[in-house]
Amino acid sequence: MDSGVSASASEYIAVRQDQKSSTMGAPPGEPGSAPKPPVPPFTSGSEVVETSLWLSLLRSCSGFEPFMKRHQGRVTGRAVAAFLLLERSFPRSVRYSVSEARARLEAIRPPSHHDLPGGRALLRLGALDAWLHEMTPETLDPSHDLATRIVNDVADVCAEIGRELLGYQVS
């Protein structure tokens, strides 16, 4: 996912604003026209596109501002992936969501009440929660395999809740 690209989002945004103003005002070089935008701090056009895609992903889940506050505007694929997967204080991160789901399931089915249904679902959810809490941004390997494992584990927990608590016969 991350090719080691590191760019300042504020520099990128400033360049984009300069580009917009120069295309919307007077023709370049005439009075009232915006100065020619500076060359972005990237080495290739693909880095600009990659940064733009990461920023779009953050915006799509209302994570742009929290990410920028936490990372001081330094945008890399690894940092965005770590934020969306592991950030404890971001309500739309995977870690936060799994921790909250576990807390809610424990409120419905306390771990000490072995006579109640939902024990297998609680164990699965607890294992996923523990696995996510062991990860750090430094050890995170944002890959398709990681995303697939998370999706599969969540699906297994949901199926288990359906069977144990709601009586669904999931095949």
Residue written as tokens 């209302």? Answer: 62
Instruction: Express each pLDDT in 106-116 by its tens digit.
Output: 999 999 998 89
Q: What is the pTM of this model?
A: 0.68
Average pLDDT, the chain: 81
Structure tokens at 1: 């996912």
> What is the CB-side half-sphere exposure of residue 31 using CA atoms within 13 A?
0
pLDDT tens-digit series, residues 10-28 = 565 555 555 555 444 555 5
Residue 168: name the closest of 134, 121, 125, 126 by CA. Answer: 121
Separation of alpha carbons 86 and 81, rounded Å = 8
